[in-house]
Amino acid sequence: MHLVLVGLSHKTAPVEIREKLTFPANVQPEALSALTRGDEINEAVILSTCNRTEIYAVAATEDGGVEAVLDFLATFHDLDRHELVRYLYVVSGDAVVRHLFRVVASLDSMVIGEAQILHQVKEAYDHAFSAGATGRAFNKLFRQSFEVGKRVRTETAIGESAVSISYAAVELAKKVFDTLDGRTILILGAGKMSELTAKHLVSQGVARVLVVNRTFARAEELAERFCGTAVEYDRLYDALRETDIVISSTAATEYVITKRDLAPAAKHRSRPLFLIDIAVPRDIDPDVNDLSGVFLYDIDDLNGVVESNLEERMVEARRAEGIIDEEIASFFAWLEAMEVVPTVAAIRAKAEVIRQMELEKAMKRLDLSEKDRKTVEALTCAIVNKMLHGPTARLKKASAGKDGYVYMDIARALYGLEDSEDKHGPGAFRNLLNVKAREIVEKQKETGDTFGDCGA
């Protein structure tokens, strides 16, 4: 089994390239079918977001898998392969697991700590699973990756600090007010940043939206998006009397809100007024901060919050890397168990332990000479060897195929290698089994035998 990954992201390709390589949900069944149709790709998951497109695959061979994915990408999207490879990265082997875990933990995102990527990877896996494009390896790998994402978000504070201007504004608003529920916001101007900030505030419970713009039709258009109310420009200060939060982003070259004009409205207020000035040049006279109960933050204040929070997220990112290391070790411990040598050794070991235990019980009931004891022991060895020779030989042969790890998984389940225990208590039998299996593997390494000797 060979893990390969071919992809591009915001780090390697501009948007005009990324948009050519997307896989919307409605085309994924067709794409996954085309990708896994041949003999080279056994399992596949396609992750497609606005910032990345990545093809994860279980391949028969590493080089063949990469070539198959490259051909698929170029053919499916009718692109020049030689031009396409300039923007792609290729990852193989153990590094694929680390890359996936870092992606799900949002350590590879444009905004470190963002929460959306975990949901996007889950959707990608669901599409692949529904299309029959995943098997034992990716079912295990991707489900474990979701646990990685959950652990990172619950055991670190990587997603708790705002790292965008709009989110920073919301974070500051929460510090000014005990709660945003039921608050009124006023959007002054119709810039994209003020609209995005308003959207985040509304999502936090703000109940009422007022929009003021020099062009009233534009104010009405924006107000409609938030089920709000458009206000005539010359009624700005009247509207401020009933407003809790102001988001200002106009193209004015002079102050739109001044200390002198705001003072009468601020004087008769019984609650704070929070002003967010995102405009450059600034819309709001900085002297309004002198007014009682008025709190003004401009773009530099917000940038300071973002930079501070980014530093905090980088500290949390280092903690997340430690969690990823633990999960990688766990995954490869499972994967190693799927390899043929430890699996065959474990089957032999289990048979040998059972043989010895049953032989010991029988010998206690029989009065045999030393010669007869050796004869009986040789007989039990012969029976075990003959019973296991065919299955283990076929298992070793099957392991060379692209579905080899599936046979390993099934064999371990059939022989109960994952849940063995005995009357001495949970795990006692398994511990004995592990010791015997290690002995067998070590002897096989030394002698190169084929596990044919009883008790080897």
Question: The whole model's pTM is what?
Answer: 0.59
Q: How many CB atoms lie within 10 A of CB 366?
A: 9
Are the beta carbons of 280 and 299 closer than 8 angstroms?
yes
Residue 22: predicted pLDDT: 92
Alpha carbon distance 270, 293 (integer Å): 8
Question: 2-155 belongs to which CATH class?
Answer: alpha beta
What length is written for the chain? 456
What's the pLDDT score for residue 446? 55
pLDDT digits (tens, 9 = 90+) for 227-252: 999 999 999 999 999 999 999 988 88
Q: Which residues of the chain have pLDDT under 50?
A: 402, 420-426, 450-452, 455-456
The tokens describing 278, both together, are: 């995102």
Pick the CATH number of 165-305 from 3.30.930.10, 3.40.50.720, 3.60.15.10, 3.40.50.300: 3.40.50.720
What is the predicted pLDDT for the residue at 342? 72
Q: Please report, for the chain, the start and end positions of each structural domain, with discontinuous segments joined by +.
A: 2-155, 165-305, 338-447
Asked if the domains at 2-155 and 165-305 fall in one CATH topology, the answer is: no
pLDDT of residue 161: 62
Active site residue 50: yes
CA distances from 380 to 391, 393, 399 (A): 18, 20, 28
Residue with tokens 């959950």: 150
Choosing from 50, 227, 381, 454, which is the catalytic residue? Answer: 50
State the Rg of the chain over Cα: 33
Q: Which two tokens stand for residue 202?
A: 């509304």
Q: What is the structure's pLDDT at 123?
A: 96
pLDDT at 237: 95
